[in-house]
Structure 1
Amino acid sequence: MRFTFLVIFSSLGLTALSCTRVTKTTHTFYGYPDNDPPGPATAYDCGRGYKAGGTGTYADPLTFASAPGEFTQCEIIYDPYTRKYLRFEDFCAQCDTDWKASPKINHIDVWTGSKTVNGGNEQIQCENDLTPADRSQTIVRQPAKNLPVDSTALYVKGGSPACRTSHVYSSYNIGDYC
């Protein structure tokens, strides 16, 4: 009897930890110049001292902003569109409006950088260039820790090119990730 209970309990635990897909997610980008206030400050401290950052690996997820309650503070998700792990570290006003709409609209706003450099209008244009159509993406909650990662920075002021639009992946099979 005890063994049966442990097997059932263990099976339930594995189900609770398996990945889930969030479809029809609006996916935008933000950075130093259009953060509120401008700079790298975040609403939540997830180990970086209230500063946005990350490379997109599971060990160093890239910051994303969203609505309070849409994700758990410091939750790590996987984004097949950028092939990056993202961590919920910041507040997004438009995401909050979307989350409170009826019906609710899932919305993430992904950090493009930098911690120290304001890319100005060039960076804002890059964020617009990276942004796919509204409600067109699927993200993964409770992702595996070994999914493919492209740790290329999405924006680098003075880089050639500064905006890395070739490092987003609009064609993917979500079944490969969850």
Structure 2
Amino acid sequence: MAYTGKIGYHVLLRYDPGNASFYRIFAKRLYMNARTKKMLTVAGSAVLIFTGLYYRISGFHIPEGTPAGKVPSVVPPTRTPSPTRVPSPTPTAIPTPTPDIFSGLESEMFYITYYGWPDNSPPGDAIAYPKHRYPDAVHETAGGSGTFTDPVTFAAVTGSVDIGTVYYLPYIAKYVVMEDICSNCRQYNHIDIWMNSGPEFAGEVETCQRKWTRQQEKVITDPPPGLPVNHAPIFSRETGWCR
């Protein structure tokens, strides 16, 4: 071998003795080509060294006896993908049932209508049973905010409900009290509730009355104090607003 070939050969043997046979064949071919072509230079050894170092670093081993021109391809190891993590399902919250606060209270189904200033007879807020003449009544004229101590006036068939009788209507969340006569009512379980109103907004009052009329609605006939109350009026006589 040429001197430069020997240098490259011994350097490779030092760093990669496992491929000695391959380097020996490769070095001989470089030497023969150089002797034939007179072109052996230090570059030949450099090529040999870097080729061997590449295989050494990459972990590739050339089997014993493999011809220099038949170097097998380097196949990178197959990387096993990490398993996909499946998220745990979030448990669905079960809603807590709302207790029936009216359970156990006496109730009946009533036909419920409304009247106001425009369709009162005569028009206005006068009632048949004002308090100054009927002590069981609450008001002198039709009114009320809907609380237990200030229930809203309602009218009923004469003799069907005692004056001052208090009911509670869950669907409007208000207490009502019997203080007037309903001339249009034809049955005992029909009550006509006063809608807070004045001489203004007559059309709006009638529209709001129809909105809140119910053919069949639950009425608590002997309500205790403390039931929920919606303090907002059903109708605003100042603005014509209907709840």
**TM-score > 0.5 by shorter chain:** yes
Unaligned stretches of 5+ in structure 2? Answer: 1-103, 131-136
Q: Distance in 2 between matches of 1:118 and 1:131?
A: 21
Which of 141, 163, 167 is residue 242 of structure 2 equivalent to? Answer: 163
Greater relative contact order (Cα < 8 A, sep 6+): 1
8 Å contact 2:154–2:179 — kept in the other structure? yes
Report the aligned-residue RMSD.
1.7
CA-to-partner distance for each residue in 1:95-140, whole Å, 9 max, x for gaps?
2x233xxxxxx111111113x54431211111111112x2x11111
Q: Distance in 2 between matches of 1:91 and 1:118?
A: 23
Which of 76, 90, 110 is residue 193 of structure 2 equivalent to? Answer: 110
1:148 to 2:234 alignment: no
Q: Distance in 1 between matches of 2:129 and 2:209?
A: 22
Q: Distance in 1 between matches of 2:201 and 2:194?
A: 13
CA-to-partner distance for each residue in 1:62-99, whole Å, 9 max, x for gaps?
1111112221101111111211000001111122x233
Unaligned stretches of 5+ in structure 1? Answer: 1-17, 100-105, 165-178
Amino acid at match of 1:56: G
- Report matched runs for 1:88-103 at 5 Å: 88-95=178-185, 97-99=186-188
Instruction: Name the structure with the higher strand share.
Output: 1
Moved over 2 A (4+): 116-119
Partner of 1:66: 156
Under a length normalisation based on structure 2, what TM-score does the superposition of the two structures give? Answer: 0.52
Larger radius of gyration: 2
Change (3 A) 1:53 1:125: same
Under a length normalisation based on structure 1, what TM-score does the superposition of the two structures give? Answer: 0.70
Q: How many percent identity over aligned positions?
A: 35
